[in-house]
Amino acid sequence: MSEHKFIVAGAGFSGAVITERIANELNEKVLIYEKRDHLGGNAYDFVNKNGIIIHKYGPHIFHTFSKKVWNYISRFTEWFEYKHRVLAKVDDKLIPLPFDFKSLEILLTDKSAKIKETLLKTYGENKKIPVYELLNSNKKILKEFGEFVFEKIFFNYSKKQWGVNPLSLSKEVLKRVPVFIGYTNSYFDDPYYGIPKDGFTRIFNKMLDNKNIKILLKKDFKEDFRIKDNRVFFKGKKFDGIIIYTGEIDYLFDRKFGKLPYRSLKFEFEDCNLKEFQPVAVVNYPGKEKFTRITEYKHFLNQKVKKTTISKEYPGEYTPNKKNFSIPYYPILSKENEELFEKYVKEAKEIKNILLVGRLAEYRYYNMDNAILRALETFEKIKSLWFYR
């Protein structure tokens, strides 16, 4: 049997936070399995040849409403006070996102005054109104405005992102496309946010720097562990310790009920002999382009370097074991997929020493702060069970 009483599958935020807590607070040994050749999951970053910190799996900006989460993660990093501004290229013009009064003035110059007046009278100032609410407004001017925003900002972008007609998406997805009643100066309104001064990878290195923690990189959890008759076996012998599993839940059970679908991403990186490629870190492209956005990474930490590096982001269907689109990013939430997921949850509940944590294991879209909070909550359950075992 393994000398480790705790096994963690996955070294992203979910797995790393629980590992850190077990190793430090419970003073127990933890063994981490990580398929990739690095820590950090999709938050992994590195310094490229131009001296720029690159987010390998797309832009990551840490933001949260939770003081608990902020205080916890701040133990492992200092922060650069970055304000995230996002622009969208629409009709060859750059407009702010979320769509606000400035965007309105740029794209609908002649109608902007009347639309602004109606929005203010209907909703009040400094409010975020989901586009689906405007689409269902009984006021003609707001309904037409909603249709305009839906077409220009949401339709093509979401069609590219999800690979389906956006009208078939749930209201939860539409809620992510708000119109701001007023003028915005930041993409997020969370009280706590920023970019780690030394990058995200440094957070994971600090978090997991403990003699109680052993890390196996480029190692699949299922190479050593298997499930049979609702029991877990380690290298052929019954394992009675606790397993925290953060990977794809359907993969854990060999996709016996079918494959849970995800959307994936492909990034094309380009070094540019320019001082600046675009005025902000992220510019969305909701038009006919095949990519959804361009990220220029030097903006995140205001790095003063002579060249710059960008990435174009292409969505696609998650296809395991392929060169492109081989990483699951976004669960596709639908009634059918939820029902399939619940079959795997029911299967997992029969195994008493496996805990499912994180975006892939719980088939939920978690931001980084959600993942950390969920991991901290799970640790508290582990701790209570451990002390009263």
Q: What is the DSSP letter of 26?
A: I
Of 175-179, 247-251, 257-261, the least confident: 175-179
pTM score, whole prediction: 0.93
| pLDDT at residue 367 in the model | 94
How many angstroms separate the CA atoms of 45 and 169, rounded? 32
Average pLDDT, the chain: 93
Of 73-87, 88-102, 175-189, 314-328, the least confident: 175-189
Q: What domains sit in the chain, N to C, each tagged with a CATH number?
A: 6-39+208-259+332-387 (3.40.50.720), 93-180 (no CATH), 262-317 (no CATH)
| pLDDT at residue 168 in the model | 72
Of 111-115, 124-128, 385-389, the least confident: 385-389
Q: 166 falls in which pLDDT band (50, 70, 90)? A: confident
Residue 163 has a CB neighbour count (10 Å cut-off) of: 13
User: Quick check: bond before 331 cis, omega within 30?
Assistant: no
How many angstroms separate the CA atoms of 347 and 263, rounded? 24
In degrees, to the nearest 5, what angle opens at C-alpha 192 toward C-alphas 186 and 195?
75
Q: Would you say residue 307 has pLDDT above 90? A: yes
Q: Would you say residue 222 has pLDDT above 80? A: yes
| pLDDT at residue 321 in the model | 81
How many angstroms separate the CA atoms of 238 and 220, rounded? 18
| pLDDT at residue 383 in the model | 87
| pLDDT at residue 164 in the model | 82
The DSSP string of 258-280 is -PPPEEEEEEEEEEESSS-SSSS
Residue 217 has a CB neighbour count (10 Å cut-off) of: 13
Residue 242's SS3 state is strand
How many angstroms separate the CA atoms of 15 and 33, rounded? 10
Q: Would you say residue 23 has pLDDT above 70? A: yes
- Are 239 and 352 in contact by the 8 Å Cβ rule? The answer is no
pLDDT tens per residue, range 66-106: 999 999 999 999 999 999 999 999 999 999 999 999 999 99
Using a pLDDT cut of 70, give the percent of the chain over it.
Answer: 96
Tokens of 387: 């002390």
How many angstroms separate the CA atoms of 315 and 292, rounded? 7
The predicted model gives 123-144 an average pLDDT of 92
- Are 14 and 42 in contact by the 8 Å Cβ rule? The answer is no
- Are 4 and 211 in contact by the 8 Å Cβ rule? The answer is no
| pLDDT at residue 386 in the model | 65
| pLDDT at residue 347 in the model | 95
| pLDDT at residue 387 in the model | 54
| pLDDT at residue 172 in the model | 66
| pLDDT at residue 385 in the model | 73
Q: 388 falls in which pLDDT band (50, 70, 90)? A: very low
pLDDT tens per residue, range 29-56: 999 999 999 999 999 999 999 999 999 9
How many angstroms separate the CA atoms of 142 and 150, rounded? 12
